[in-house]
Amino acid sequence: MPTEEEYLTKEKYGELEKELEYLKTTKRKEIAEALEYAKSLGDFSENQEYQETRDAQAVLEDRINRLEAILKSAKIISAQNTSVVAIGSVVTLERDSDKSKKSYTMVGSEEANASLGKISIHSPLGQAALGKPKGETFSFQTPSGEMTYKIIDIQ
């Protein structure tokens, strides 16, 4: 369970609220109905359907608890200061090794998705870029060696 602030965009916060509502209403009801049916099949010790449904119920309750904790500790972000890289910033970086450019949005862990260009501020790249101004070059270690980037733009 997250104990520190979880940084989320307003959109992601809304998505998580909708997911939580769905899980607490629709999904809980579906599992309760499946449990009732499985109970009607008899002996619990050899009732595979009952055991699987109980496992699904445990996974559901874990997800509900996690979402509630995330939403409780959430801090809504929006990029305001474009002079340095911050959470919510859209940053264009140039990789030193091949001069390729790519833009990333700096987000909290829950929202990170590299394939969508959303990088966690807790990732090695995010930690190295955080607080740096436009034009600055920075490096960080990866399993395959040191990576160096230059900040081209901050929005």
Cα–Cα distance between 108 and 21 in angstroms, integer?
A: 22
Q: Alpha-carbon distance 43 to 41, whole Å? A: 7
Compute the residue count for the chain.
155
Q: Tell me the DSSP string of 58-91.
A: HHHHHHHHHHHHHHHHEEE------SB--TT-EE
Q: Which domain holds residue 25?
A: 6-76
The answer to whether position 1 is within a domain reads no
Q: What is the pLDDT along the chain (155 residues), one digit of tens a residue?
A: 445 778 888 888 999 999 999 999 999 999 999 999 988 887 777 788 889 999 999 999 999 999 999 999 998 877 576 889 998 899 999 999 999 999 999 998 889 999 999 999 999 999 999 999 999 999 999 999 999 999 999 99
DSSP of 87-116: TT-EEEEEETTT--EEEEEEE-GGG-BGGG
Question: CA–CA separation, 38 vs 54, rounded Å?
Answer: 10
Place of tokens 């940084």: 7
Tell whether 104 is covered by a domain: yes
Domain count, the chain: 2
Among the listed residues 96, 98, 154, 148, the one whose alpha carbon sits nearest the alpha carbon of residue 125: 148
Q: Which residue has the tokens 């989320």?
A: 8
Would residue 84 count as lying in a domain?
no
CATH number, residue 46: 1.10.287.180
User: Is residue 126 domain-shared with residue 98, that is, in the same domain?
Assistant: yes
81 domain residue, yes or no: no
Which pLDDT score, from 0 to 100, does residue 1 have?
A: 43
pLDDT value at position 2? 43
Instruction: Kindly state whether residues 65 and 98 are assigned to the same domain.
Output: no
Q: Which of 47, 76, 105 is the last residue of a domain?
A: 76
pTM greater than the 0.85 cutoff? no
Distance CA 126, CA 44 (A): 49
Phi, psi of 115 (to 5 degrees): -65, -20
